Amino acid sequence: MRIAPSPTGFAHLGTASTALYNLLFARQREGTFALRIDDTDLERNRPEYEALIYEALRWLSLDWDEGPDKGGPYAPYRQSERVDLYRQHAVRLLDEGKAYKCYCTQEELEAERRQAQFEKRPYKYSRRCLTNPPTDRGVFAVRFKVPGGSVVFTDMIRGEMAFDAELIGDFILMKSDGFPTYQFASPVDDALMKITHVIRGEEHLSNTPYQLMIVDALGYERPIAYAHMPLILAKDGAKLSKRKHPESNLMLYREQGYLPEALINYLALLGWNPGTAQEIFTFEELMRIFSFDRVQHAGARFDWEKLNWINGEWIRAMVDGELAKRLQPFLSNLDEATIMRAVPALKTRMTKLADATEYLDYLWKEPDMPALDAEQASRIDMAVDALKEVPWEPEPIEHALEGVVERTGLSKNKLYTPIRLTLTGKKVSLPIHYTLALLPKEIAMTRLMRAVPA
C-alpha cells in the first residue's frame, strides 16, 4: 500500500483519511505501507510542505514503513529523485513504438481543442505527430499511444469497473521539460514498488484506466485491486477545497485541541460505517473490523458537530494524568499541579483542548471589573462571609455556597452569576466551586471583596 501526497500546500484532511484507510488495510493484511512524495510539479512543490505532511501524519500516528525519511527496498521515495527512471521507461515505450514524440506547441493544441469544441465533438489529440511528424523541430514531449479497447479492473468499493479507452486520447507521459506527468510517474512507481492495492480518493477514479494502460504497455504486473474512496465534502456539499475550507487543513485540528485518536475515529466513520450502533473506536478496533464493503460510494459530508461529540467522548474517557499532559501546550501559563486540579472539572465541559484556555485564563489574567448592581454586590458579600473560614477545596466551597442558598432562599443562579462574573469576567465558567478553588484563596477573596462597595 502507499499514499502519494503532493507537497503543494498545508497537509490536507484527505491525506489523513487516505493514509488511515491504507494503513488499516495494510495492518489487516500484514502488508507494508509506503509514503511516496509526489513532487514532480516543480513550480508548486516546497520542502516545507513536505515537512508538514510528515508532521501531520506523525501527530495522528499514521506511521509509514517506508518513505523518503526512512528508506526501504524501493528507495528513493521522492519522485523528484526518480526522474531518470521515468525517462528510461519513456525511452523504452518510444523504442517499442508504444509512445511517440510530440512536437506540437501549446497554441497548436489549443487550436485543435477549439476546433473540436466548435464541431461539438469530444476532444482527442489528432495524432498529427504520430502520422506526420514535423522534421524541423527539436523540442518534444513524449505521448502515449493509447491502444484503445476497454480497461477493466476491480475496485474494492465499487466492484468491477470498465472504461472505454476509445474515448481516451493519446496523453503526455514526459513533458518537454523532461519531467514526467503524474499520469506516468504514478503507475511506473506503483509497479516498481510492487503496490498490490491502490487506495486513494475518488477524484482519481478516472485516472485509473490511463495508468493501467501504461502498466500493461510496460509489461508490468497490475496492482491486484483499487479502492477509490468517497470524496470528503464540506457541510454545504461542495468539495473540500484548500482555499475555501479551513477544515481541510490538518494542523487546524491540532491547534484547536482535537485529540488525534478522536480525529482518526471521526475520519474512519466519514465514509465507512461499522454496521452497528457503535461510534467510538480505537485504531486497534478499526483494524479488526474495517472493510471496504462498508465504505459508501457517495461523497461524505464533514460534520463538525459529530467530530466535537466524538472528541468530547475521547476527552471524558481519558485518564486525568494523560489529559493533563495533553492540556499543557494550551495552558502554558499554569503549572502541572494546577492543571491536574482543573482536569476533573474541565473534563465535564470541554469539547476540545483549546476550550481549556478559555475556561482558565482568569487564573493568569486579571479580569475587568463587571458592573454589578447593589443586589448582586450584596450577594457577593454573603458569599465572602460564608467562604472566609472554609478550607480551600472544591467540596467545602460548594458546601458553603449551598448553605447560603438554603439560608437565603436565593436561586443558585442568582448567587453564582455575580461570583462568576467577578472572578472570571465571563458568563460561562467551570462549576463555581472549581472556579473558586483553582484560584489561590487570597486572590479569590480579594477579587470578590473588590466588587463589594466599602
State which residue, 113 or 194, has the beta carbon closest to ligand GLU.
194
Question: Which range of residues in 2-10, 212-220, 329-337, 341-349 is near ligand GLU by CB under 6 A?
Answer: 2-10
Quote the distance between the C-alpha of residue 178 and its chain's center. Answer: 33
What letter does residue 126 receive in the DSSP assignment? -
Residue 318 CB neighbour total at 10 angstroms: 18
Q: Is 242 a catalytic residue?
A: yes
Q: Are 356 and 331 in contact (CB under 8 A)?
A: yes
- Under the criterion CB under 6 A, does residue 66 sit at the interface with ligand GLU? no
Residues 136-195 that bind ligand GLU (CB under 6 A): 186
Cis peptide before 76 (omega within 30 of 0): yes
Amino acid identity of 254? R
Which 200-239 residues touch ligand GLU, going by CB under 6 A?
200, 204
d(CA 316, CA 312): 6
Separation between Cα atoms, residue 21 and residue 83, nearest integer Å: 29
At its nearest, how many Å lie between ligand GLU and the CB of residue 170? Answer: 21
* Side chain identity at residue 55, one-letter code: E
Q: How many residues bind ligand GLU (CB under 6 A)?
A: 7
Q: Which is nearer to ligand GLU, 204 or 352 (CB)?
A: 204
The nearest distance, CB 46 to ligand GLU, in angstroms, is 15
Is the CB of 13 or the CB of 436 nearer to ligand GLU? 13
Distance separating alpha carbons of residues 26 and 197, to the nearest angstrom: 9
User: For residue 424, what is its C-alpha cell?
Assistant: 472570571
Q: Binding residue for ligand GLU (CB under 6 A) from 6, 22, 338, 424?
A: 6
The pairing of strands 141-144 and 2-3 is unpaired
Closest CA to 91 of 26, 184, 190: 184
Q: How far is the CB of 66 from ligand GLU (least distance, A)?
A: 15
What is the C-alpha to C-alpha distance for residues 147 and 132, in angstroms, rounded to an integer? 19
Nearer to ligand GLU, 186 or 265 (CB): 186
Helices (H), 60-151: 83-95, 106-118, 128-131
Q: Which of 101, 175, 239, 242 is catalytic?
A: 242
Backbone φ, ψ for residue 110 (5° rounding) = -60, -40
Q: Closer to ligand GLU at the Cβ: 50 or 261?
A: 50
Selected range binding ligand GLU among 1-9, 171-179, 342-350, 435-443, rule: CB under 6 A:
1-9
CB 6 to ligand GLU: min, Å? 4
Task: Provide the minimum distance between the beta carbon of 353 and ligand GLU in the complex, in angstroms, as a whole number.
Answer: 29
CB 83 within 8 A of CB 45: no
**Nearer Cβ to ligand GLU (24/438):** 24
Q: Please, how many CA atoms are within 13 Å of residue 29, restricted to the half-sphere of its CB? A: 12
- Taking the least distance from each CB to ligand GLU, the nearer of 11 and 401 is 11
Min separation Cβ 80 and ligand GLU, Å: 13
Give yes or no for a contact between 449 and 384, defined as CB atoms under 8 angstroms apart: yes
Least Å from the CB of residue 291 to ligand GLU: 20
- The SS3 of residue 39 is coil
Cell of 196: 498490490
SS3 state of residue 72:
coil
CB of 185 to ligand GLU, least distance (A): 9
Question: Site map for ligand GLU, 28-47, x if CB under 6 A?
Answer: ----------x---------
Give the interface segment with ligand GLU, choosing from 4-12, 128-136, 384-392, 405-413 (CB under 6 A).
Answer: 4-12
Nearer to ligand GLU, 22 or 424 (CB): 22
* Alpha helices (H) along 296-390: 304-317, 320-327, 336-349, 355-360, 374-387
What's the CA gap between 431 and 33, in Å, rounded? 47
* DSSP 8-state code for residue 425: S
Find the shortest distance in angstroms from Cβ 252 to ligand GLU: 19
Q: Which is nearer to ligand GLU, 26 or 339 (CB)?
A: 26
- What are the residue numbers of the active site? 242
Give the interface with ligand GLU as residue ranges (CB under 6 A). Answer: 4-6, 38, 186, 200, 204
